């Protein structure tokens, strides 16, 4: 039953996102012609601060700790980040209740003036090899995941509802976290 509610939540979230995209039909950069490769690389992010305090972890009961609070499957992610252009430094509480520090390089695909998808790659420190025992983690049996420093990648959905404020969601293997982003520029 719990798996069904998690799946329904994810499906609802994805459908809502596409509805928002469809409502804002005005694309940006209409008059600029770019090569496919340049479009694929995206644009640098604008400098910002991000706070995503809650998240969804698909197997929280198995890997979580009693220190963590849950409300209807949501748990404390406590993700806070500062971004300068495309470089981001983040701290968060992982699903095991441990603090993690991460450094990312991110780019953005700006679909409209309000909606963008950010993508990035980086490294994080704080799991101490625990990810190798977590199903669903890519390359969990390789040297990449067994050490103290692990690679990380993911997608972020960003919908600006005010000039400098946006609703922000990050999707990475096994997690979805939610919060807000404030643009500094």
Provide the pLDDT for residue 7.
55
Question: Average model confidence (pLDDT) for the chain?
Answer: 77
Over residues 26-44, the pLDDT tens digits come to 555 554 566 777 888 889 9
* Residues 85-99, mean pLDDT to the nearest whole number: 86
Over residues 141-180, the pLDDT tens digits come to 666 667 788 888 889 999 999 999 999 999 887 788 899 9
Pairing of strands 165-172, 99-110: unpaired
Provide the pLDDT for residue 48.
93
Half-sphere exposure for 74 (CA within 13 Å, toward CB): 12
Domain-embedded: residue 28: no
Domain-embedded: residue 46: yes
Predicted confidence band at 181 (pLDDT cuts at 50, 70, 90)?
Answer: very high
Provide the pLDDT for residue 19.
56
Domain-embedded: residue 5: no
Nearest to 174 by CA among 24, 69, 94, 59: 59
Domain-embedded: residue 26: no
104: β partners: 88, 122
Predicted confidence band at 104 (pLDDT cuts at 50, 70, 90)?
Answer: very high
- Which stretch of 21-25, 45-49, 83-87, 150-154 has the lowest confidence by average pLDDT? 21-25
Question: What CATH code is carried by the domain that includes residue 82?
Answer: 2.40.160
Over residues 109-142, the pLDDT tens digits come to 999 999 999 999 999 998 877 776 666 666 666 6
Q: How many structural domains is the chain composed of?
A: 1
Domain-embedded: residue 54: yes
Domain-embedded: residue 24: no
d(C-alpha 163, C-alpha 62), whole Å: 41
Over residues 48-69, the pLDDT tens digits come to 999 998 887 655 455 444 445 5
Q: Give me the domain span that covers residue 179.
A: 34-183
3-state secondary structure the chain: CHHHHHHHHHHHHHHHHHHHHHHCCCECCCCCCCCHHHHHHCEECCCEEEEEEEEEECCHHHHCCCCCCEECCEEEEEEEEEEECCEEEEEEECCCCCEEEEEEEEEEEECECCEEEEEEEEEEECCCCHHHHCCCCCCCCCHHHHCCEEEEEEEEEEEECCCCEEEEEEEECCEEEEEEEEECC
Domain-embedded: residue 18: no
Domain-embedded: residue 20: no
d(C-alpha 39, C-alpha 122), whole Å: 21
């Amino acid at each position: 039953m719990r798996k069904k509610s998690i799946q329904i939540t994810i499906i609802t979230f994805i459908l809502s996102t596409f509805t928002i995209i469809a409502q804002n039909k005005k694309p940006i950069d209409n008059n600029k012609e770019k090569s496919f490769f340049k479009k694929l690389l995206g644009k640098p992010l604008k400098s910002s601060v991000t706070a995503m305090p809650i998240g969804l972890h698909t197997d929280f009961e198995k890997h979580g700790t009693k220190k963590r609070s849950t409300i209807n499957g949501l748990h404390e992610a406590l993700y806070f980040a500062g971004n300068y252009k495309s470089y981001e430094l983040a701290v968060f509480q992982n699903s095991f209740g441990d603090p993690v520090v991460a450094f990312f390089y991110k780019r953005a695909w700006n679909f409209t003036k309000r909606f963008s998808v950010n993508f990035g790659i980086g490294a994080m420190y704080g799991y101490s090899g625990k990810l190798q025992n977590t199903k669903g983690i890519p390359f969990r049996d390789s040297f990449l995941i067994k050490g103290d420093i692990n690679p990380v990648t993911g997608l972020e959905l960003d919908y600006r509802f005010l000039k400098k404020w946006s609703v922000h969601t990050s999707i990475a293997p096994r997690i979805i976290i939610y919060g807000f982003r404030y643009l500094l520029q």
